[in-house]
Each structure stands twice: as C-alpha cells, then as structure tokens.
Amino acid sequence: MYAKLETRTFLALLVGVSLAFVFLMKPFFGPIFWAVAIALIFHPVQNLLVRWLGERPNTNALITLVICMVIVVIPVLVLVTSLVAQGVELYQQIQRGEIRPGEYIDQVNQSFPAIQAFLAQFDISFTELRDRAVNLFVGGSQFLAKQALGIGQNTFQFFMGLALMVYLAFFLLRDGHHLVELIIRALPLGDERERLLFAKFAEVTRATVKGNLLIAIIQGALGGLIFWILGITGALLWGVVMAIVSLLPAVGAALVWVPAAIYLAAVGDVVPALVLTVFGVVVIGLADNLLRPLLVGRDTKLPDYIVLLSTLGGIVMFGINGFVMGPLVAALFMAFWGIFIREFGHESQAVLHPDTGPEDENHGNRPDSKL
C-alpha cells in the first residue's frame, strides 16, 4: 500500500515537473522546433561525414552546421531582408500617392463590368469588397514596414533566437541519437511503438520542410522571373510573396499572379496578361500540382486532402511553423491509429464475429496498419 502511494506520488511529481519544464521552454518554441528540424534534415549529411572523417562528433556536427548556414540560413535572411526593404518602399509609395490600389481596382471594374454584375447576384457589394482589398493591400505593406521597424528595435532578441537555434542544432546533430535512445528508454509506450513514432516524426518533418520549402523556392523564383520579364514593378517583392503564399496548398502563388493578370488585362496589356495567365497555369501551377504530392504527400504517406487540411489548420494555429506542425500532427494521428488497429483490431473482430474459427481468424481480412 505504501509502495503504491510512493509510486503515485513520484509519478504525479514527475508529470508536474515535466509540465513546468515545458512551460519554461514555451518562449523558445520557435528556435527549439527549427533546431530539431535542422538536425533531422541534415542528419544524412552528418552520417556521410562520419563515413568520410570517422567518429569525430564535434567536427562532423560543426561542418554540418556550417553547410546548413551557407545553403539555408544565410539565403533565408537575405530574402527576408529584401522582402522587408521592398515592403517598406511599397508602403512609402502608397503614402506618397504613387501607388493607388483603389484606382487600380476601379479600373478593373470598369474594364470588366460583368464582375460587378456577378457579385450582385450573391448580394456582394463591390464597393465593400474594394475597400477590403485596399485595406488588405495597405495593411500588408504597413505590416512589412512595422516588421522592419520591429527588427531594428528587437535586433538583439532576433539574433539571440537565431544563436539559440544554431547552438541547439549543433548539440542535436552531435548527440541526437543518444537523446532519442534516452527518450525511448524513458517513455512507457514500448520500444517498437516508440521507434515507429520517432521514425514517423523524422520522416514527416524532413518531407514537409524540404518539400514545402523547395516548392516555395521554385514557385517564387518562377513567379519573380515572369514578373521581371513582363516589366512588373517589384518583381523580387512579388516573387518572395509568391514563395510565402505557396506554402498554402491548392491556392498558393495564384493569390498573387491571378490579380496581376486581371489588372494587366484591365489596362489593355492583353498579351502580357495572356502570357502571365498561361505561365501561371502551366508552369507555376504545374510545379505545385506535380511536386507537392511527390515531395510531401508521398514521403509523409498522407493523402493529398489530409496534407491540404492539416497545412491550413497548422498555419492558423501555429503561424509560419504550422506548415510543418500541421502535417506532423496529422501523421502522428494516423500513426497512432495505425498502431491501435494493428495491435487491437483483431480483438474487436473477435467480438464482432464470435463464431469465427482459428483458421478463419488467421486468414480473414484484417485492417491494414498502414493507413
């Protein structure tokens, strides 16, 4: 009796201390999450260096981290800086009256009166829609301007987060496999289940980060290129914006190039509008429709609609981290239910079919553990 009380007390304290530690780490969720993602994505590079250089944990982890900084972190910082700088310039042009989004929308309405007639069928006010679009456009540029000011004011905090991410990534690259083994020993789920879940976690994180980022880079580069060829102002800005919105499956970059094509047609630039439309549908759209299922859906072993819904839900709940967190939660959900069906599904079958003999039970249809 006393031993049970001791065990229960210890477990209660263990849960309490663990929750307190999680709460303590909450402000650093972003750096910790991306440090884990870097360690998982660049783990194959680490293994390759081990084969080349031998067991030199510190050296191998440091070289891997330098490679990551050169090909990922530094380019992302340059792109973000360029995006913010062009966003500030865009906001200043709006403030000076050089760019008037309301007039552009009115021009589209005058060129395509059918749009207003179509909206009227659904009792949608074009004026209200116009005002919302203008507010969204101005608000977006204002947001970038505020971010530029915020980065200037919070430079220390930003670089502290970056340094923390790099610092953690080094130790996770060096000691990650030991930490995983320690967690497997500690968790009371059974080693086989735990290894399966950790493998799924690593698989989905690699697939979503590599797949989504690669798709974003490709679509952003293609979009910025066609904008530059057509002489559209701020091609770099719109290319980066397309890369960001391409994290949204299905719609993605079309949120940028479709309004641009409509405006070009409205001002009489029919040929550039057609070129942009064809390029957007055939090239940019094809990159999304072909690559996303291959790079994300195939590696995560999730249906396309689950990838779409979980990505959207993740972005709503977790912000920019959600394009990884959403599919990750969905994949773990599927993995847990796969384990449940594999290990307990036959028991429910026996209850439903009590007359089934041993031979039928062994050879009957059983739920597939691979959802």
Q: What is the pLDDT of residues 230-258, one digit of tens each?
A: 988 778 878 888 887 887 766 778 888 88
Residue 72 lies in a domain: no
Residue 360 lies in a domain: yes
User: Residues 145, 152: contact at Cβ < 8 Å?
Assistant: no
Residue 315 lies in a domain: yes
Residue 44 lies in a domain: no
pTM metric for this prediction: 0.69
Mean pLDDT, rounded, for 211-229? 86
| Percentage with pLDDT > 90 across the chain | 8
User: Residues 234, 248: contact at Cβ < 8 Å?
Assistant: no
Residue 248 lies in a domain: yes
Count of domains observed in the chain: 1
Residue 50 lies in a domain: no
Residue 138 lies in a domain: no
- Identify which of 167-171, 174-178, 241-245, 290-294 has the greatest average pLDDT: 167-171
Q: What's the domain range around 301? A: 193-371
pLDDT in tens, 23-60: 998 888 888 888 988 888 888 888 888 888 888 888 98
pLDDT in tens, 113-122: 776 676 677 6
Residue 49 lies in a domain: no
